[in-house]
Amino acid sequence: MFKQCFVPKWTETAPPKGSYRSVFKYGNPNVFKHPSAKWYEMIKEEFSMTDNDFRARKEEGLLNVVLDRPPVIEARHRERIETIVGRENVTSDDYSRVKYASGKTTEEMMELRKGMVGCVADLVVHPRSKEDVQHIVEYCHENRIPIYPYGAGSSVNFGVRPERGGISLVLSTHMNKVLEVNETNQTARVQPGIYGPAYEDALHRAPELFHTSRRYTCGHFPQSFEYSTVGGWIVTLGSGQASSYYGDAYDLVISQEYVTPAGTFKTHDYPATATGPKVNDIMKGSEGAYGIMVEATMKVYRYMPENTRRFSFMFPTWEAAVDASREISQGEFGMPAIFRISDPEETNRGLKLYGMPGFVDTFLRQRGFSPTQRCLFLGNAEGERSFAGNVARQVRRIAKEYGAISLTGYPAKKWEHTRYTEPYMREDLMDYGVVIDTLETAVTWDKLHDVHRGVREYIKARPHTMCMTHASHFYPQGTNLYFIFLARMDGLDEFRKFQRGIIENIMRFGGSLSHHHGIGRMIAPLMDAHLGPEQMAVLRTLKRHFDPNGIMNPGGQLGLDI
Amino acid sequence: MFKQCFVPKWTETAPPKGSYRSVFKYGNPNVFKHPSAKWYEMIKEEFSMTDNDFRARKEEGLLNVVLDRPPVIEARHRERIETIVGRENVTSDDYSRVKYASGKTTEEMMELRKGMVGCVADLVVHPRSKEDVQHIVEYCHENRIPIYPYGAGSSVNFGVRPERGGISLVLSTHMNKVLEVNETNQTARVQPGIYGPAYEDALHRAPELFHTSRRYTCGHFPQSFEYSTVGGWIVTLGSGQASSYYGDAYDLVISQEYVTPAGTFKTHDYPATATGPKVNDIMKGSEGAYGIMVEATMKVYRYMPENTRRFSFMFPTWEAAVDASREISQGEFGMPAIFRISDPEETNRGLKLYGMPGFVDTFLRQRGFSPTQRCLFLGNAEGERSFAGNVARQVRRIAKEYGAISLTGYPAKKWEHTRYTEPYMREDLMDYGVVIDTLETAVTWDKLHDVHRGVREYIKARPHTMCMTHASHFYPQGTNLYFIFLARMDGLDEFRKFQRGIIENIMRFGGSLSHHHGIGRMIAPLMDAHLGPEQMAVLRTLKRHFDPNGIMNPGGQLGLDI
């Protein structure tokens, strides 16, 4: 006997060339990740939806991008910029202007589905070199033409939105090379527009490409790894999935070169100095508001995948998982590389999504690990062989002390296969009116539970709303909290209001405004309240110094020039 | 038969109270460290001196401090400041003014021995609290009265010199408490004026003082540990002898509170954030030129001395010692805490100073370890027991690979006994006209040998001049070089010229202007050439922002207001 099962028609084809959908679709046009049958059932149940709600996709954004606004930049400016970078590196067609004006926020996706387009630049410019950037910045500074740097467009906070027109400056088209691997110093000198995979691949192939004796790794693997650039990692203060061991983007940068309206400079590549406040560090996190990064010298690490030790555990409660994680982070034996704990809702739904053998579930329940309480912990240890072995042993010892049961390394390995693909599911869900979005924060250990509880209470107060939370970047002094929420949303206004409420509750309960997504324009209005007027005055003073005419990513970025 | 041995009359009594010598003598007035008989012989030989040169101490600075300059500050200002901090916390006697105007440079020592006094403040003020500091800074800002913050006075670059009079603000008299140990976050909240030993002691006794379950350590042990303050560590970007594991002062600071003419602010204590350029980091290294630190939240570490593993090795050559150190620093098994390599001259003289059993010397020579080539490596591993054990094992493995012979942990242990006492020898030598001074730099691995060779060549080109060098702060990307030179100097002019030459050669061969001594006023004139005009413009912009009236440590500090 066969049961007739309804399966929604998830999109299976690449978006039409030139369509709105091709702008907002995440990642590879030909890659899809659909909700599993179990997820589909869960979504229907949670959101009181029926198969009928999944019969027709809505607002798919399949039409061709058409803008109602021709470029307004003066012809003489366009000519000059074409002279600088070459005519072939300047475009102003509707599609380019929209594509390079868009990031990956839910709002942008909702708008583009309706054929609505927010701000766009007049020109899209693809500089070939540092010199191109210098000439463009000089010219735009003199003529007060706004510049919006664009790397790979995975911003989730309107970081690339050209609020005031001008030019979108695309750094990933040409300025995307590894220039040098210095094996003696264990550094790589790169251009800012290189994507994660190209960078990592060059480091793996360093013996062939740069005549090194060893292979290397960059150590930075954010979920957006495949669609983000090294420059983007640094100027937005990103953090990779293995950051607990390798450090955040902030820690990976040895030196940088910037082109700003106030001049071009390159910081020294000393591993440490005592020569006053560090301009190298001031530029990190500047989100394009001070200048354009044209080169960076990055720490790299020996690539030794053969030493990786994976582990996963189930903890009886969130409190036990947090306590064990703190004990690991403060244990002085080195840190795991991947290091994640999921709260009960994420654990429960995650197990549904990825499946857990029935006998394991039965075993766990018999041992008192309730599905509404238990928490998944997974990770790995990297580095030198004995070091990694000891980290894995200590993690196991501590996990057991806090009542965890080992699930072997298998779930960690399985998680790695999906580590970059989660964002692909967003479009499928939104085709049927379900929003999935994330907000994240940094917390000290002593505020973790307040923030987790407070933000969850706010989210769950909304009927039919899912909220899954994990912590995945650990430090001796605290960690991050990453909130994923799913809801059926009627429209943009409701979404905006709800999202703002989450951010306000993060602040209210003691979290930072961002751990690794950056600020962009979305969170910028809260910066004054968060950092206070004295610190914001410092950031604004620097803004006026570097960019007296307000041409660098102007219009709200970082809250500096609202 | 007894051989008649001449022994110089090294000073054995505390300097007279109120004397110049009591100002410049390092550390505890009753503690002395004399050159050993072997050192004495070596010095005579190197500098072509005879016992006759050591019969009479010269310019000992035993007279009472007398100033020819009464304070010029207006009486109304003095009255107002006395109202703020209490009359008992304001002094203007000659001795106080000189004491709190002085650091520990060779120049200051040479001058004070002659009864010469450079700049002094009009008043010495000892604030009791953050509120006192706020009121003083506000008042001085309005009335354009310079403020010179003073911690413990161990500056080796005129960092506390009151170039423009005004007030010396002594933060160590009252603002010297540990306010809180937060065991959950593993942080300590401290006032800036606490000395190293008091801070470390409070962390060791945290269970008794703060009801913690564990004992803690600060992880920061500069040679000046006993006579420097936590605030000083941070604002001068210090680095401790165990920095390779625990990090530099820069890394140890979670958050800070500053009083500046532009306002008072406290940075957040998140372990990491992506909320734009970090004002917390901008203030580190500001050397009192932007404002006064009034509180800091520091990382602390579990205190587990029972896990320490000590090791020492002799390497056949400097090149082998450097290569092995690089391999250790890049090996991905964690870092040793103490980690030092001495170049051949330092090794050779060090062995003479501290003694090496004759049979060891014979054994090493027989194995081809020539006294003009061999290099001493010593260190320890700290942290969790198995972690420290693995670090020690890996160090041993690598040392052997590079041809080293183990000398057991004994030399490392012996070194620890003298780790804070070296500066005491300066006065003994200068009593007989011999100068001992140090300069230091940060280098990338690929410039290490150039800087070492280049600077040594400059120093050794001067006849009868000793130069001992070590590297003692390691990073995957490089290390520091610490040059100690000894010479008989005729006077200040010669010393200044020679010292300047060393700094210029450090720059010329690719070293940084300072790894951990900071800039102060001594090195400041080279800052523009070193950092370049664009980066100096950033530091000056911040100076104008925080201190528009130029009252914060003005007169050359960091090269910001020359």
For B346-376, the pLDDT digits (tens) are 999 888 777 777 788 888 999 999 999 999 9
Question: CB–CB of B272 and A332 under 8 A?
Answer: no
All residues of chain A having their beta carbon less than 8 Å from the beta carbon of residue B276 are: 237, 285-287, 519, 527, 531, 539, 558
Among A253, A273, A281, A514, the strongest candidate for a mutation testing the B interface, having the largest count of B CBs within 10 A, is: A273
Interface of B with A in 425-454 (CB under 8 A): 442-446
- CA A109 – CA B46 distance, rounded (Å): 78
Which residues in B507-540 are b (16+ Cβ under 10 Å) and which e? Answer: bebbbbbbbbbbbbbbbbebbeebbbebbbbbbb
Residue A290: pLDDT above 70? yes
Model confidence pLDDT, tens digit, residues B49-90: 999 999 999 999 999 999 989 999 999 999 999 999 999 999
- CA A11 – CA B142 distance, rounded (Å): 68
Q: Which residue of A has its CA nearest to B262?
A: A534
- Lowest model confidence (mean pLDDT) among A52-61, A181-190, A218-227, A350-359: A350-359
Q: Is A315 helix (H, G, I), strand (E, B) or coil?
A: strand
- With beta carbons less than 8 A apart as the criterion, state whether B141 and B549 touch: yes
Question: Across B80-132, where does the E strand assignment appear?
Answer: 90-91, 123-125
Q: Which residues contact B550 (CB under 8 A, 6 or more apart)?
A: B144, B146, B561
- With beta carbons less than 8 A apart as the criterion, state whether A488 and A47 touch: yes
Go through chain A and tell me how many residues it has: 562
Question: CB–CB of A269 and B541 under 8 A?
Answer: no
Model confidence pLDDT, tens digit, residues B114-166: 999 999 999 999 999 999 999 999 999 999 999 999 999 999 999 999 999 99
- Within 10 angstroms of residue A179's Cβ, the number of other Cβ atoms is 12
- With beta carbons less than 8 A apart as the criterion, state whether B25 and B427 touch: yes
pLDDT for A1 equals 53
pLDDT for A153 equals 96
Residue A2: pLDDT above 70? no
pLDDT for A106 equals 96
CA distances from B52 to B12, B22, B429 (A): 20, 27, 14
Average pLDDT over residues A110-123: 96
Average pLDDT over residues A202-227: 97
pLDDT for B513 equals 97
CA nearest to A441, candidates A482, A478, A486: A482
pLDDT for A422 equals 84
Question: CB–CB of A274 and B386 under 8 A?
Answer: no
Average pLDDT over residues B549-557: 97
CA nearest to B124, candidates B155, B160, B100: B100
Q: Touching check for B556 and chain A: CB below 8 Å?
A: no
Question: CB–CB of B512 and A386 under 8 A?
Answer: no
Q: What is the pTM of this model?
A: 0.97
- CA B479 – CA B326 distance, rounded (Å): 9
- Lowest model confidence (mean pLDDT) among A359-368, A523-532, B96-105: A359-368
Q: Touching check for A267 and chain B: CB below 8 Å?
A: yes
Residue B274: pLDDT above 70? yes
pLDDT for A426 equals 92
All residues of chain B having their beta carbon less than 8 Å from the beta carbon of residue A296 are: none
pLDDT for A129 equals 98
Predicted confidence band of residue A352 (pLDDT cuts 50, 70, 90): confident
- CA B233 – CA A493 distance, rounded (Å): 51
Residue B11: pLDDT above 80? yes
Interface of B with A in 516-535 (CB under 8 A): 516-519, 527, 530-535
Pick from A187, A512, A534: CB nearest B268: A512
Residue A43: pLDDT above 70? yes
Model confidence pLDDT, tens digit, residues B435-461: 999 999 999 999 999 999 999 999 999
- The tokens for B506 are 């450090």
Q: What are φ and ψ of residue B530, in 5° steps? A: -80, -50
Question: CB–CB of B275 and A514 under 8 A?
Answer: yes
- With beta carbons less than 8 A apart as the criterion, state whether A487 and A468 touch: no
Predicted confidence band of residue A3 (pLDDT cuts 50, 70, 90): low
Predicted confidence band of residue B2 (pLDDT cuts 50, 70, 90): low
- Within 10 angstroms of residue A142's Cβ, the number of other Cβ atoms is 11
- CA B39 – CA B450 distance, rounded (Å): 29
Q: A24, exposed or middle or buried, with CB in 10 Å at 0-12, 13-18, 19+?
A: buried
Average pLDDT over residues A32-50: 92
* Sheet containing strand B123-125, strands side by side: B90-91, B123-125, B167-170, B147-150
Predicted confidence band of residue B323 (pLDDT cuts 50, 70, 90): very high
Q: Which residue of A has its CA nearest to B516?
A: A274
- CA A104 – CA A11 distance, rounded (Å): 18
CA distances from B454 to A123, A270, B531 (A): 52, 18, 21
pLDDT for A549 equals 97
Percentage of chain A beyond pLDDT 70 is: 99
Predicted confidence band of residue B421 (pLDDT cuts 50, 70, 90): confident
Q: Touching check for B545 and chain A: CB below 8 Å?
A: yes
pLDDT for B491 equals 87
CA distances from B140 to A379, B111, B146 (A): 55, 30, 7
All residues of chain A having their beta carbon less than 8 Å from the beta carbon of residue B304 are: 332
Go through chain B and tell me how many residues it has: 562
Model confidence pLDDT, tens digit, residues A418-435: 888 888 989 999 999 999
Pairing of strands A434-444, A478-488: antiparallel
Question: CB–CB of A184 and B277 under 8 A?
Answer: no
**How far apart, in Å, do the first and last CA atoms of chain A sit?**
65
Q: What are φ and ψ of residue B349, in 5° steps? A: -70, -35
Predicted confidence band of residue B3 (pLDDT cuts 50, 70, 90): low
Q: Which residue of B has its CA nearest to A393?
A: B386
Query: How confident is the prediction for chain B on average, in pLDDT?
Result: 96
- The tokens for A540 are 């604004």
Q: Where are the alpha helices (DSSP H) in A236-343?
A: 243-246, 249-252, 279-283, 318-329
Q: To which residue do tokens 């910045």 refer?
A: A137
CB pairs under 8 A between A and B: 275
Percentage of chain B beyond pLDDT 90 is: 91
Residue A357: pLDDT above 80? no
pLDDT for A562 equals 55
CA distances from B461 to A210, B347, B457 (A): 39, 20, 6
- With beta carbons less than 8 A apart as the criterion, state whether A244 and A336 touch: yes
Q: Which of the two residues, A410 and B521, has the higher pLDDT score? A: B521
Residue B1: pLDDT above 60? no
**How far apart, in Å, do the first and last CA atoms of chain B sit?**
65
Query: Interface pTM (ipTM) of the complex?
Result: 0.97
Q: What are φ and ψ of residue B177, in 5° steps? A: -110, 150
- With beta carbons less than 8 A apart as the criterion, state whether B222 and B239 touch: yes
pLDDT for B468 equals 97
Task: Give the rounded distance of the alpha carbon of B132 from its chain centre.
Answer: 28
Q: Which residues contact A383 (CB under 8 A, 6 or more apart)?
A: A245, A304, A307, A334, A337, A391, B332, B333
Model confidence pLDDT, tens digit, residues A225-252: 999 999 999 999 999 999 999 999 999 9
Element (H, E) at A168: strand A167-170
- CA A250 – CA B280 distance, rounded (Å): 14
Average pLDDT over residues B244-260: 98
pLDDT for B438 equals 96
- CA B227 – CA B235 distance, rounded (Å): 15
Model confidence pLDDT, tens digit, residues A72-106: 999 999 999 999 999 999 999 999 999 999 999 99
pLDDT for A522 equals 96
Q: To which residue do tokens 């970081």 refer?
A: A159
Average pLDDT over residues A345-364: 84
Pick from A270, A518, A532: CB nearest B442: A270
